[in-house]
Amino acid sequence: MLDVSLLLQALPYLNQYKGKTFVLKAGGELVADPEILDRLAQDVCFLEKVGVRVVLIHGGGPQANELSERLGLKPVFVAGRRITDQDALEVTKMVFAGKINTEILSALRRHGGRAVGLSGVDGGVLLARRRPVKRMRDPETGEESDVDFGHVGDIVSVDTALLDTLLAHDYIPVLSSLGADNKGHVFNINADTVAAEIAAALSAEKLMILTNVPGVMKSLESKEIVATLTTAQAHKLMARGTVKKGMLPKLGAAVAAVESGVRHATILSGVAPHSILEETFTERGSGTLVSKSPPAPPTESGEPRKNRQWRKRKASRKKSRTK
């Protein structure tokens, strides 16, 4: 028998998010798995069919590493960040704007989505400049050194004209994390940063950063997820070193997006089935929600409830993760 209560629970969120823009970022480790990619595509198409405007940003680090090794090139990282020399840039262009982007488009088409593959170079979406040499501290050894990241770019500005046009005509833009400067030099850009900048430029309602872990952990030893964070609390976690390695740029991107006007940012599992829909349409939610202040879920009309209802949601999320 159909559990109608689930549909009724989703109704206020359907009202709240219809016509709003979501930016989703999926890491390369997720889209490399056909089953995970298929579920991701299904969720994205569901959002689009109920009136949510979706932009999907993707990375591709594992795939770039694999192709590099097959070509006899050894990927180089400093403090967890990729060094992109000329050979690595060629690999990145092939993998990001080619193989991965096409596979995502194919998965979306299978579920009825009208998607368009892009990079930040298309339509001048991302204006970037080469990252200057930076003094970096190796978290493993504590040693500091000057690092030239090669063809890695920092975003100067975002032009949303092309994205706006596609969204207005019910297309799903699928954007790889490449950008260029005014001379046409192409740069590899961190996909979490791209997602945050795109979300801010589009005045998105929500940024979702999908990863292979359930969310932000309470401590380095704990397996308990932090259900909600204000931007102030997130800054403290990062300053204390509680958040490290791959989670650090993700939480930093979530905070930057919210501080730039995005209403909510969520770091959640892309491995758990339909976590996108759980976070969007249920009171329990999924992952770690970042906002300027603790938000309240909407009423049936789409208007926010009082904070006591938010505390109820927070408690239910904590309970669900301790089962």
pLDDT average, residue stretch 41-45? 97
| Rounded Cα gap, residues 54 and 46, in angstroms | 10
Lowest mean pLDDT among 7-11, 24-28, 258-262, 316-320: 316-320
Domains of the chain and any CATH numbers? 20-294 (3.40.1160.10)
| Rounded Cα gap, residues 72 and 128, in angstroms | 29
Choose between 47 and 80: higher pLDDT. 47
Average per-residue pLDDT for the chain:
86
Share of the chain above pLDDT 90, in %: 59
Share of the chain above pLDDT 70, in %: 87
Q: Tell me: the pLDDT tens digits for 93-102?
A: 999 988 999 9
Position 245 scores a pLDDT of 75
- Both tokens of 169, joined, read 């005509």
Choose between 56 and 303: higher pLDDT. 56
Position 306 scores a pLDDT of 34
Q: What is the DSSP string of 44-88?
A: HHHHHHTT-EEEEEE--HHHHHHHHHHTT---EEETTEEEB-HHH
Confidence bin at 237 (pLDDT 50/70/90): confident
Residue 21's identity, in one-letter code, is T
Position 176 scores a pLDDT of 96
Position 9 scores a pLDDT of 79
Position 20 scores a pLDDT of 97
Position 311 scores a pLDDT of 38
Confidence bin at 164 (pLDDT 50/70/90): very high
| Strand (E) or helix (H) holding 16 | helix 4-17
Confidence bin at 314 (pLDDT 50/70/90): very low
Confidence bin at 320 (pLDDT 50/70/90): very low
Confidence bin at 239 (pLDDT 50/70/90): confident
Residue 183: helix, strand or coil by DSSP?
A: coil
Confidence bin at 309 (pLDDT 50/70/90): very low
pLDDT above 90 for 267: yes
Residue 152: helix, strand or coil by DSSP?
A: strand
Lowest mean pLDDT among 6-10, 77-81, 200-204, 273-277: 77-81
Position 321 scores a pLDDT of 42
pLDDT average, residue stretch 242-269? 91
DSSP E strands: which ranges in the chain? Answer: 21-26, 53-58, 76-78, 81-83, 115-119, 126-130, 134-137, 144-147, 153-158, 172-176, 178-180, 186-188, 206-211, 228-230, 264-269, 288-291
Position 322 scores a pLDDT of 40
Confidence bin at 139 (pLDDT 50/70/90): low
Position 79 scores a pLDDT of 64
Which pTM was predicted?
A: 0.86
Asked whether 31 and 104 are in contact (CB, 8 A), the reply is: yes
Looking at the DSSP bridge assignments, the partners of residue 123 are: none
